Amino acid sequence: MADLKKLIVQENKKVLSKSNPEERFWKKFKFAAAIKEFGAVTHLSFSHEAPFYYTVTSGTKVNVYSVKTNAVQQSISRFKKTAFSGCIRRDGKLVVAGSEDNCVQVFEVGTRSILRQLTGHVRPCHVTKFDQDNTHILSAADDKTLRCWDLPTGEEILCMKGHDDYIRSAATVSMCPDIWFSGSYDHTVKMWDKRSGECTLTLDHGSPVESIVVLPSGGIAISCGSNKIKVWDVHRSGTQLTTLSNHQKTITCLALDFSNTRLLSSSLDHQVKMYDLSTYKVTHSIKYSAPVLAVGTTANNSHLIAGCNDGIVHIREHPSPAPVPTKRPLSAVQPGTGAYFARGKNLLPAKTDAVSGKATKRKKLSQYDLHLKRFQYREAFDHVMSSRHSPDIVVSVVLELFRRDAVKRVLSGRDEETLQPVLTFLVNHVTNPRHCSVLCDLAHILADLYSPVLGMSPAIDKLFEKLNKRLKFELKVQERYMKLQGAMQCFFTATGLS
């Protein structure tokens, strides 16, 4: 015999918050540490290989942090003046940084020794990056030039000119190593071809460009300046796809997460906002205690790092970061070994699989479900009325009794003691818009059944009077609402707002 299907309670969902998977993902980042640096944190850079170091540029130092300990692993302080844009190579072995003394320096992480000193800029160098091949370095400075350096020889290969003001941001493209992007205070974003040294595309942002990022394919470039973020389609001659203006003050930094599906932006309004790149909508935001100058995530999104103007590095950890793909594929299990015969032992069946030989647990039925299963309609109704069940459950049971055409049998033949709970429930909930359609029908049946005996019980008469007053008051309120709605409709029609 098949099990009885449990009664479906007609629940009314309450919209408390518009939470979504993206917001829940970012909310899982919990506070791990807040480390004080000696100056404002101006730049963050992340390696993509174990042990996943990241660099923090602050004052005259570039500190290398460890993901495991959330502490400084190495401190590079061999700068005479302020350091800028300390960038760690993808393998985490080298660091390149510019400085206020116009020099670009390359350091080894393990020994902190200076490997290269690249001179050629005549103004402070604010941008340094490793190219995708790890053998070339990109630098940009206040002398309005973009330069390419050969790391093995330390020689300048290329000098690109075209901007009319300071260059404060640059980006390389993963899939196109010969393409570079630069953003300048002359309000433009330029795309450069490293092979020819010429500018191939110019985009007008409309305000000084503080930061730019490019998706790995190279087809989408994103720039920020003032309080606006602009998205450009490079393949369509720099067509502007959309403009985002969710910050109140100047946006200082843009960054992509490990999966390249989310965009992060930091601003002087103390906010860090996260965007879904499929919809370009804000999915979450975090407020900090000071203006945020740099933001980013480590490999596999295990840590969210934000650097503030007051020198604080805020570190947040995710409890279950995404796995990082390994370089070498996992080797197959060798036949004849113990692992070969034990394979599949921990494999769980899918939802669509038919599992045999496993006893299914019987569903535990509630008391009113048991009464309905035994066709004890009066007992089921009295149970939900006498116990402290929610109105949703009571109305669901009444609705089931209506389906089974058993309401009159349940309500008829009641004495004063068993009729009072029913009338009390109606007085309290008959005007609830969620349940009024069912409870009004129940009240009509009660009135038809017990109107001939009114006056025989003072308690029952009093409850019927309360029910009558409650319904009359509700009708007056609805009449006023209808008049107000009609007046508003006339007003909207006259003003052309409808």
By DSSP bridging, strand 251-256 and strand 262-267 are antiparallel
Kindly give the interhelix angle for 416-429 and 436-450, rounded to the nearest 10 degrees.
150
C-alpha–C-alpha distance, residues 121 and 144, integer Å? 9
Please spell the DSSP secondary structure of 2-31, one letter per residue: PPPPPP-------------HHHHHHHT-EE
DSSP three-state, residue 410: helix
- HSE-CB at 414 with a 13 A cutoff on CA atoms is 23
Q: CB-based contacts of 7: which residues, under 8 Å, 6+ apart?
A: 366, 368, 369, 372, 396, 397, 400
CA-to-CA dists, residue 391 to 298, 356, 383, angstroms: 50, 41, 13
Kindly give the interhelix angle for 391-403 and 377-386, rounded to the nearest 10 degrees.
170
Q: Which amino acid is at 430?
A: V
**Cβ 285 vs Cβ 265: under 8 Å:** no
**Cβ 227 vs Cβ 249: under 8 Å:** yes
C-alpha–C-alpha distance, residues 56 and 76, integer Å? 10
Output the pTM of the full model. Answer: 0.64
C-alpha–C-alpha distance, residues 374 and 392, integer Å? 22
Encode the chain (498 residues) as per-residue pLDDT tens digits: 456 677 777 666 555 455 678 888 888 888 888 999 988 999 999 998 888 899 999 999 999 998 888 889 889 988 889 999 999 998 889 999 999 998 999 999 988 889 999 998 999 999 999 988 888 999 999 999 999 999 999 899 999 999 999 999 999 988 888 899 999 999 999 999 988 889 999 999 999 999 999 998 888 999 999 999 999 999 888 899 999 999 999 999 999 998 888 999 999 999 999 999 988 999 999 999 999 999 999 888 889 999 999 999 999 998 877 665 544 444 456 677 777 777 777 777 776 677 776 566 666 788 888 888 888 998 989 888 887 788 888 888 888 888 888 888 988 888 888 888 888 888 888 888 888 888 888 888 888 888 888 888 888 888 888 988 988 998 898 899 898 988 888 887 877 654
Least Cα distance to 156 among 228, 103, 208, 205 occurs for: 103
CATH architecture of 21-317: 7 Propeller (2.130)
Is the omega angle on the peptide bond into residue 319 within 30 degrees of 0, that is, cis?
A: no
- Using the structure block, give the residue that is written with the tokens 């760690």: 88
Q: Which amino acid is at 243?
A: T
Kindly give the interhelix angle for 377-386 and 416-429, rounded to the nearest 10 degrees.
60
C-alpha–C-alpha distance, residues 319 and 30, integer Å? 8
**Cβ 106 vs Cβ 119: under 8 Å:** no
